[in-house]
Amino acid sequence: MIACENTLPGDPPSDWQVNGAGDPSIQGFATQMSLTSGQTQFFKIKTPASSYHIDILRVGYYQGDGARKVVSNMQPTATLPQSQPACTNDSAPTGLIDCGNWAVSASWTVPSDAVSGLYLAHLVRDDTGGSSLIPFVVRDDASHSDILFQTADETWQAYNSQGGNSLYSCTINCPPGNPKAYKGAAMVSYNRPWHSGEDDNGASWFMYAEYPMIRFLERNGYDVSYTSGVDASRTGYTSIIEQHKIFMDAGHDEYWSGQEGQQGNVTAARNAGVNLAFFSGNEMFWKTRWSSSIAGPNTPFRTLVCYKETHFDAPVDPNDPPTWTGTWMDPRFSPPADGGLPQNALTGQLFDVNSGTTDITVPSQYSKLRFWRNTPVAGLPSGDSITLDAGVGTLRPAIPSRSMPVSARWAMSGTWMPTTGSALPGCSTCPPPPIPARRCSLTMGATPSRTAPPPTT
């Protein structure tokens, strides 16, 4: 299906890509992070424009264009210009800003033949051409594709500073207390336009690493379908993951919900025989929980909560105990809370040093590995090396897992990275400060065989 889909004509990047967060004069969000065929996506948009249109695109390879236009020139249903109210601030000092009280501007019903994927609503002003993007996922919950690709939307939202607040900064109705690092909001809403393309230098947005991986997968015809971090967090989602051979996570996927949600679902799927592929760094670092929206409909899974309790000397989340929202690895207040579960038990590596990222360097000693066939690495002369393009491959310092069961592990690159950061503040039991440099490598592991997953169809 993916190979056939990508034979269709694409849309040139100059037509759909935007700089950073796009034009601030036309911004919006979707009321669902994901949906399936037959369901309707609603868009809430704020703009002074008297005329604009919406294109719906599916992200893929498409002969290098990177996206295909599924719907062209869709018109808003609201009377223009449409006035939207001020977003709602939480009554408690959490930093939560929720724009769910905005009125619906347009809608799109997913057709029955839609191919699962990462989709974009491209909002375009007809007068100035200014535009912005709204990402969402179209799922196929009946799919038994080889690969189930999960987006890192929780991390996109954590860094999203729309309205002045994110989990890294706070200017309005901020939480009390003095963390030992930056002060951010404790809650962020999916009911906001996306500013993430400008935040964190774009490194916490789908265009940074997920987009290159999607292009790679679909260019090579891999059998893949898509889901979101929100979906992986839903109770019972293990059964959906188990319909696939591989659960794949790519890029910067720092925020994961707990044992009753995302981490628990993926762990259970792994234990049932699903292979895990983490093409990522600094993944599953902060433990989160979910809450409903506070503006507009009281919708579950629209508020992401993380009090970053590791930055404090005592629990600060009102739900702690029993629910901890600090780093996954921090055990100081568990039990009675549910922290102290290092992520390398699931992902195979442990990010522990705030020292940025570096591009992957592949020396010639790795060039004969099958993984690098049909790439420039395969032809490297002895003694040479190649550095992958920025955004295609990046590493963060990490500790390999000693707790995840593997029958074999292969290094596929070798990169020395200077580390000038430090171990997490406020965590006396976290790893010690770093040595001046660490060797990072792209690795592949094979887990011992378990119950075979259902056959693909």
Q: What is the pLDDT of residues 38-90, one digit of tens each?
A: 999 999 999 999 999 999 999 999 999 999 999 999 999 999 999 999 999 99
149 three-state secondary structure: strand
281 inside domain: yes
347, 375, 392 — which closes off a domain? 347
Assigned domain for 456 exists: no
More confident residue, 358 or 306: 306
175's tokens: 């939480």
Within a domain: 162: yes
Could you report the per-residue pLDDT of 395-440, keeping only the tens digit for each? Answer: 444 444 444 444 445 565 665 555 554 445 444 444 444 444 444 5
Count structural domains, the chain.
2
End of a domain among 305, 321, 347?
Answer: 347
Same domain, 329 and 415: no
Instruction: Please tell me whether residues 185 and 227 are part of one structural domain.
Output: yes
The single-letter code of the amino acid at 290 is W
Q: Is residue 415 part of a domain?
A: yes
Asked, for residue 409, whether it belongs to a domain, the answer is yes
Contact 29, 99 (CB under 8 A): yes
- Backbone φ and ψ for 319, nearest 5 degrees, come out as -95, 10
| The pLDDT of residue 452 | 37
Q: How many CB atoms lie within 10 A of CB 157?
A: 26
Tokens 């989340």, residue located: 317
Picking from 289, 324, 347, the residue at the C-terminal end of a domain is 347
In 3D space, the residue among 380, 381, 378, 377 whose CA is nearest the CA of residue 392 turns out to be 377
**Domain co-membership, 78 together with 149:** yes
Query: 265 and 161 in one domain?
Result: yes
Confidence of residue 230 (pLDDT cuts 50, 70, 90): very high
Do 372 and 265 fall into the same domain? no
What is each CA distance from 408 to 139, 441, 443, in whole angstroms? Answer: 33, 15, 10
Provide the pLDDT confidence category of residue 372 given band limits of 50, 70 and 90.
confident
Q: Classify residue 38: in a domain, yes or no.
A: yes
For 319-326, what is the mean pLDDT? 95
Does a structural domain hold residue 451?
no
Residue ranges making up the domain that contains 387? 358-446
pLDDT at 355: 56
What is the predicted pLDDT for the residue at 246?
Answer: 96
Asked if residue 413 is part of any domain, the answer here is yes
Give pLDDT, residue 123.
Answer: 98
